[in-house]
Amino acid sequence: MELLKMVIVDDEPITLQGLVRTYDWESMGFQVAGFADNGERALAVIKQVRPHLVLTDIRMKEMTGLEMMEAVGEELAEEPVFVVISAYRDFEYAKKACEVGAFSYLVKPIDEEQLQEVMRSTYEKCMEKIKSEQERENLKRILMGDQHNYLQVMTQKYLQGSLDDEKMQEVLRILRREIRGTQRFICVCADIDISYKITDPLYYETERTCLFRYLEQVFKESYEFQSMETEHGNHVFLLGTQMHGGVEEVRRILKEAAEKLKSPVVSAVSGEYPGFCGMKKSFWQALRFFETASEAGANAFTANRPEETGKEHVSFSDVEKTIMNAIRKNDKAQLKEAMVKFVYLLPEQKSGDSHKKYIHRLAVLVEFMLQDSYGLTKELEHNFQNLYTNLNQISMMKAIDICYQLFGQAIDERMRSAKSRDIAFFSEYMSKALAYIDENIQDETLSLTAVAAEVYLNPGYFGRVFKNTQNISFKQYLLNLRMELAKKLIVEGRDSISAVCEKVGIPNRSYFSQVFKQHTGMLPSEYKKEHET
């Protein structure tokens, strides 16, 4: 699911932060790109980030939600979709907002099912707008004569699966670039060995730039070509030719590039395929061969004849993604399961040194992911460097064990970091929640859901935050608090046991006695007698 940008606006600070932090917006297709505590600031944020969606309170002091919507409409050519939030008393006001342009509304306190339904329909509305805007932009590009770049963008979309055959052929017809049966395609995927991105990032980026420029210059002399980047950042050249036997010539060019530039080039060349279908076939074959070349440490992997069909290609990519997702989710059980799959995927009848290249690649990918998310601690960074330095001196199984330990350390660090952030961020929420519990301790119906609603947090999320910050579950905390108050009241002796039950929110005397004995080892009457003496 493509994540769309949203801005949240509310002039109540706790409510605003609750909206920003409580809900899993990404599961609904949105990421919070900005927020503001009044309409004036919201206008500036919206103009800066250009969100797809604005979720705004309808009643605000300095500028109402309606006034802000009108101001956005006056200042921006492309307005975002608006969803307004109102209290029950503002219901008619929210309906009015929908009449003047808001897509939908939510009523406080926000119902989880209503939120899911509104966000689902809002996401669909936003995607319809994006599609419509893209179609207008595409038409505009054609009319402006930017055919080359337009064709390159559309070809990339087609090859990566976001444009179907029919639409791609329509694009080619509009541009008068139809593919004839005599036209043949060869695809090249080339890059610098990824390990240099860790050991010498400046060298890596410099050599990449030189390699891509060199290949563009050489290919331009003999081929009609398009160049693009894959989702993993690898560079692809799609070469069109009328000649047969072009694969060997492309191999020669790549070999010459590595020799002239004196660079650690990793490359793959597809087979040569005719016609429209050959474009996509050559592209995906080159990507699969490049993955194999990268994993095996080869400097070139080439198809000299068409690929055999009917055989399933087994790739490490899925397992690598599963390992990284397990670390992102701090899930050690999933990590262990994925690492076992990784070991069983290692090719048979290969030496330990060959297997270490797969291990090295996995470690590099995980380190990049950690850098891009929570970042690396100095200790973790040092441990990764030690792995790279000593990989050739340790056994394959030892290397796998070290990787597993490293990834487990990363999960531990991410969990510690998340907990410290919760404590810092939610201190105000917890102060308010604990005060509310103290004030309502006598209420038999006092619950996690009620307290969560008081601080404008989702109950499930509030429960996790409560346990992280207080080191105890909400249920156990409330029970402990009630028992401590009961002990205090019993010792003071001014109330009967029945009155104590009422004051601590457990009016059922039998149940109270049972819980009190579990907590203190004595019945209430026994506890009272002991402290009287």
- Contact between 211 and 217 under an 8 Å Cβ cutoff? The reply is no
Which residue spans within 40-129 are E strands per DSSP? Answer: 53-57, 81-86, 104-107
**pLDDT (mean) for 387-404:** 80
In tens, the pLDDT along 423-443 reads: 555 677 788 889 899 999 999
Structure tokens at 175: 């541009």
Cα-Cα-Cα-Cα torsion 406, 199, 317, 252, nearest 10 degrees, comes to -160
Backbone phi, psi, residue 300, to 5°: -160, 140
Residue 313 has pLDDT above 50, yes or no: no
Residue 126's pLDDT band (boundaries 50, 70, 90)? Answer: very high
> Are 314 and 346 in contact, with CB atoms under 8 Å apart?
no
Q: What percent of the chain has pLDDT above 90?
A: 26
Q: Percentage of the chain surpassing pLDDT 70?
A: 86
Q: What's the mean pLDDT when you consider all of the chain? A: 83
What's the pLDDT at 311? Answer: 39
What are the tens digits of pLDDT across the range 84-101? Answer: 888 756 667 667 777 767
pLDDT level of residue 419 (50, 70, 90 thresholds) = low
Can you tell me the mean pLDDT for 124-150? Answer: 74
Q: How far apart are CA 60 and CA 66, in angstroms?
A: 10
Residue 511 scores a pLDDT above 50: yes
Helix (H, G, I), strand (E, B) or coil at 312: coil
Q: Which two tokens stand for residue 508?
A: 């059922």
pLDDT over 50 (residue 335): yes
> Which tokens hold the place of 234?
């690898």
140: pLDDT confidence band, cut at 50, 70 and 90? low
Would you state the pLDDT for residue 107? 83
Q: Write the burial class of residue 64 (CB in 10 Å: 0-12 exposed, 13-18 middle, 19+ buried).
A: middle
Handedness of CA 484, 488, 490, 494 (dihedral sign): negative
Please determine, for residue 295, whether its predicted confidence score (pLDDT) is greater than 60.
no
**Helices marked H in 57-90 — which ranges?**
65-75
CB 282 within 8 A of CB 188: no
Token pair in block for residue 233? 């950042």
- Tell me the residue type at 140: K
Token pair 């009287």: residue:
532
pLDDT at residue 306 tops 50 = no
CB atoms closer than 10 angstroms to residue 350: 13
pTM of the model: 0.39
Q: Strand pairing of 53-57 and 4-9?
A: parallel
Q: Is the pLDDT of residue 308 over 50?
A: no
